[in-house]
Amino acid sequence: MTVTPPSSVLGDTPHPDDAHAGADVVRICQDLLRIDTTNPGDDSGPGERAAAEYVAARLAEAGIEALITESAPRRASVLARVPGTASGRPALLVHGHLDTVPFDAAEWSRHPLSGELHDGCLWGRGAVDMKGAVATTLALVRSWARTGRRPRRDLVLAFLADEETTGELGSRFVAARHRDHFADCAEAIGESGGFSVPIRPQPGADGAELRLYPIALGERGTAWMQLTATGPAGHGSRAAADNAVATLVHALSRLAAHPWPTRLIPPVEALLGELERILGTTIDRDRLEAEAARLGRAGDLFAPTVRNSANPTVLQAGHKINVMPGTARALVDGRFLPGTREEYLATVAELLGPRVTREFINLEDAATGDHTGPAFAAMAAALRAEDPAGHPVPYLMSGGTDAKTFSQLGIDCYGFAPLRLDATLHYQRMFHGVDERVPVAGLGFGLRVLDRFLRAY
């Protein structure tokens, strides 16, 4: 697929003409990594307030007025606006989140709150997900303030709390309480797109890498469920036809073993077509799991998004070996493709059976966008300008982000937080993983790509 970008897509000398920008993005990223914003999901964490105040202060230094808004004590988000040069065009939303998932410091090579610079990388929880991208956005708008440059469109900035759980205290809160802030936004960019995926050396290119840059057009829907089975409590030695644990385990087994059918929706089919062209291969649509394994990192981009899924993640029952519990509970992470929500929920209910009840912890529709329009073309052009050997491709995210909230406001959302990684760093595995880190050179790359895109589109 080749899409012609707008004539202005490259802009004029689209690099930050500011010697301080590279150092600024490193300093800001380090500072953010050293602020604990872990979000365990039960409001026991430190919250995002300290990080929100830091972000607002860095914006104020650039002459940008920012609003800190709290949904609950310490649960803070930051909203701001940067004027563009093209009057009358819809605004572009740039959103990111300030919270991170928890960590076990004993498992890490370097402390997750150190922000240590080692082997060319900044180490810490949130380096990839997604304080590095937040730092890139902040450094860029600060560079513009120093050089007098501006984006083409008005930029609406949102640095959010609570993305790592449901977004109830972050994106959902600001979308409801501060709806006017987003009223003129037509499109948005956020996390999980624009990162490099090294594939293999190109034939005849003296070992040069072939790199993919997936740009997310949407994401699967979310169905986080709490399942409950009940039965008579009693002594563990007695026969029990209604054992709550057994009832729940049988239901979970049916759910985990269910062969969800393959569905090729447009963004995934577009990705497969691009991979065939770029890699010079044919991908058999009838055996996609095997094809994903064959294609390695390229296959990782579509393997989770060709079908729905329901993965049991937590089991809770009983407190003593000889006491039969009256209640057993489980948590299930369910994901469904765009257009399959009702079918998915009905299938899950049938698999669980009448003796297991279901409550939704989080239920959000899937989102999907367009890969043939000018937004995707402009992002692809900005990436290719900085990496001529790179291949931007469309894809669908398997997980979820705050884009779901903003898509409900009628905003077309893309995953585009550009970052170049070397072949030793696997983007998806660093998400929520041990020894999360981001290369300093990759942050510089992201700064340049984002500058090209935002000043041109």
Q: Where are the beta strands (DSSP E) in 306-411?
A: 309-317, 323-324, 327-336, 356-364, 367-368, 390-397
| Measured distance CA(165)–CA(100) in Å, rounded | 10
pLDDT at position 12: 39
Mean pLDDT of 79-90: 94
End-to-end Cα, the chain, rounded Å: 20
pLDDT at position 7: 35
pLDDT at position 184: 97
Global confidence as pTM: 0.92
Is a pLDDT exceeding 80 seen at residue 206? no
pLDDT tens string 394-415: 999 999 999 999 999 999 999 9
Is a pLDDT exceeding 60 seen at residue 362? yes
| Measured distance CA(37)–CA(76) in Å, rounded | 11
Which tokens belong to 35?
A: 């602020």
Where is average pLDDT lowest: 230-244, 341-355, 373-387?
230-244
Task: Give me the catalytic one of 18, 36, 99, 219.
Answer: 99
One-letter amino acid for residue 128 of the chain: V
Tell me the residue length of the chain.
457
Task: Give me the catalytic one of 18, 116, 163, 386.
Answer: 163
77-80: Cβ within 8 A, 24+ apart: 77/48, 77/52, 77/158, 77/159, 77/160, 77/161, 77/170, 77/173, 77/174, 78/52, 78/157, 78/158, 78/159, 79/156, 79/157, 79/158, 79/174, 79/178, 79/181, 80/56, 80/156, 80/157
Q: Is 99 a catalytic residue?
A: yes
- Of the chain, the percentage scoring pLDDT greater than 70 comes to 94
| Measured distance CA(261)–CA(447) in Å, rounded | 41
Q: Where are the beta strands (DSSP E) in 107-244?
A: 117-118, 121-123, 155-160, 185-190, 197-201, 209-219, 221-230, 234-235
Which residue(s) pair with 401 in the sheet? none
| Measured distance CA(225)–CA(239) in Å, rounded | 30
Is a pLDDT exceeding 80 seen at residue 205? no
Kindly state the helix (H) or strand (E) to which residue 272 belongs, with its residue range. Answer: helix 266-279
CA 346, distance to chain mean position in Å, is 27
339-342: Cβ within 8 A, 24+ apart: 339/265, 339/366, 340/221, 340/263, 340/308, 340/366, 341/221, 341/365, 341/366
Using DSSP's 3-state secondary structure scheme, residue 387 falls into coil
Q: Is 65 a catalytic residue?
A: no
